[in-house]
Amino acid sequence: MSRKIVVTGASGFVGHALARRLHCEGEQVLGICRSDGNFGFPVAKIPSFDDPGALAESLNGADAVVHCAARAHQMQDTAEDPLSAFRKINRDMTLSVARQSAERGVSRFVFLSTIKVNGESTSGRGPFTPDESAHPEDPYGFSKFEAEQGLIELASETGMEVVIIRPPLVYGPGVKGNFASMIKLVHRGLPLPLGAVHNKRSLVALENLVDLIITCTYHPAAANEVFLASDGDDLSTTELLRAVAVAMGKPSRLVPLPSGLLTAGATILGKKAVARRLLDSLQVDISKTRDLLDWQPPLSVDDGLRRSFLIAKDKL
């Protein structure tokens, strides 16, 4: 018997892929978003998530809600008060949707958080684990952490099961932001000064993340737990760029400049945050995810990249 699963943010990068797969697998999926469009699965357009009545009909009879809607992390944030802007969407809206879900008898609420709750870097230490102390460093990370704390309290109050997933960088067809910019540079064959970066970073293919989210909608052991997500194979920035080039059938033109020189140059240019993302390590330990859920990433990094570019190569 199929389940009714509501997916918020169904027009977004992760939400759309998740809802589409659930629909293909025969689930009674209902995507929630603020935009019109033909998504290939049933969608309810909601003007405001804050309206107590706006979600009522959509949530009736739902077995699980997966909350993907969010104000995404932005390298160049133009908001006058970024923390307030992030809190309004990522904390307050999340808790509003969760409370409405609990009131409508939804048994499980899956929240797509971020590894930025753990912190920004694992350089000089071991990989992040899901149950260690949180150390968010920017407004986006803080807003997600505060949402997590509110959800844990709500679960205790109402009995609704809450599952929190913290992914690192998610890549796949249609990815945007810095990863998309990097892809375009590799595709154009431009030389990049990143041929001697010896960090390690975890990332997760969109298909792997979607598979984990679906597992978390039904697995008994997922209830009221926090999980980290990754492909299970960490790469240096240099290795990632080479893997991207191979997946695209392009040569990798990487110039081996010392990381210290790159950091100094980026600092002078006011791009220290960008350099940190390229040069620092950020690893996650998915042992708990594997063991508790008996889950393995379906795709390797190489397969994930290859599938991404086979689908997206005509758009580059």
What are the catalytic residues?
A: 140
Separation between Cα atoms, residue 314 and residue 36, nearest integer Å: 25
- Beta strands (DSSP E) in the chain are 4-8, 28-33, 43-45, 64-67, 108-112, 161-166, 169-171, 203-205, 225-228
Separation between Cα atoms, residue 123 and residue 28, nearest integer Å: 43
Buried b (16+ CB within 10 A) or exposed e, 172-207: bbebeeebeebbebbbeeeebebbbbebbbbbbbbb
Pair of tokens at residue 301: 């990094």
Separation between Cα atoms, residue 269 and residue 278, nearest integer Å: 15
Separation between Cα atoms, residue 296 and residue 302, nearest integer Å: 15
How far the first Cα of the chain sits from its last, in Å, is 41
Long-range contacts of 295-299, Cβ-Cβ distance < 8 Å, separation of 24 or more = 295/211, 295/212, 295/215, 296/232, 297/204, 297/205, 297/208, 297/211, 297/212, 297/230, 297/231, 297/232, 298/207, 298/208, 298/211, 299/205, 299/207, 299/208, 299/231
Separation between Cα atoms, residue 143 and residue 121, nearest integer Å: 18
